[in-house]
Amino acid sequence: MTQGTLKIHSENILPILKKWLYTDRDIFLRELVSNACDAMSKLKILRDQGEAEFKDEELRIDIEIDKESKKLKVFDTGLGMDQEEIEKYIAQLAFSGAEEFVKKYQDQESDAIIGHFGLGFYSSFMVSDKVEIDSLSYKGEAKPAHWSCDGSPEYLLEEGARDERGTVITLHINKDSKEFLEESKLREMLTKHCRFLPYPIFLNGKRINDVEPLWVKPASECTEKDYLDFY
């Protein structure tokens, strides 16, 4: 088990993130789904290089709501991470980006694109009291990893219990963000931001996107319903 301290304090970065998110709080879900897509795209590259084996139909993203426990989970079947990778990509790289972000924007009124600094994952703390990562790498001998943080500079990293390749992000939704536990709200958000992403996305088991957008289908195969749904 590893206990660590993030390189930049939440009292510096979180207020700036909150300011940026003030009129677009639902960006956190877009960022998590985008990260999940990246994890699966990287896994496909590894397969092309002969370093991983899987079937395309295994690749999917699932979002699950548990209103009773106030949890929102985002699952993917991508390449996963081990403890060393979580330490590097979550605790180190993202917060080195955070330091640059704070220096550049703390005294400015204009908005900034958080994704440019690798901070998309940390937008989760705008709606959460606590965020957890459970992941299992595609690497044959990899052990599952568990990371948790309550938005303070302190985090916990230890061996986890996940037994399937991929990652699940668990958000413990805070009292001011209960709207993000409503299925209708999340469906609206996913339709807005993620409708045409290249992997199947499911919300509480129901498919919400079309991995073959209308414009790539032959006109002869498009139905009236396809056009109505698109426009």
CA atoms within a 13 Å half-sphere pointing along the CA-CB vector of 188: 8
Helix residue ranges per DSSP H, the chain: 10-21, 27-48, 83-86, 94-105, 183-194, 224-230
pLDDT value for 20: 60
For the segment 91-135, what is each residue's pLDDT rounded down to a tens digit?
765 555 556 655 665 555 444 444 545 567 888 988 999 999 999
Rounded Cα distance, 54 and 79, in Å = 11
∠ at Cα 60 (56, 66), nearest 5°? Answer: 160
For the segment 144-198, what is each residue's pLDDT rounded down to a tens digit?
999 999 887 788 999 999 999 999 999 999 999 999 999 999 999 999 888 889 9
Fold of 2-230: Heat Shock Protein 90 (3.30.565)
Q: What are the CB-based long-range contacts (under 8 Å, 24+) for 56-59? A: 59/199, 59/200
pTM above 0.85, yes or no: no
pLDDT band at 136 (very low <50, low <70, confident <90, very high): very high
Q: Say if CB 167 and CB 76 are below 8 A apart.
A: yes
pLDDT band at 214 (very low <50, low <70, confident <90, very high): very low
Among 7-16, 143-152, 202-211, which stretch is predicted with the lowest mean pLDDT?
Answer: 7-16
> Nearest to residue 42, comparing CAs of 80, 74, 93, 90?
80
Strand partners, 37: none
pLDDT value for 121: 85
Q: How far is CA 12 from CA 16, 98, 116, 118, in A?
A: 7, 9, 18, 16
pLDDT value for 55: 94
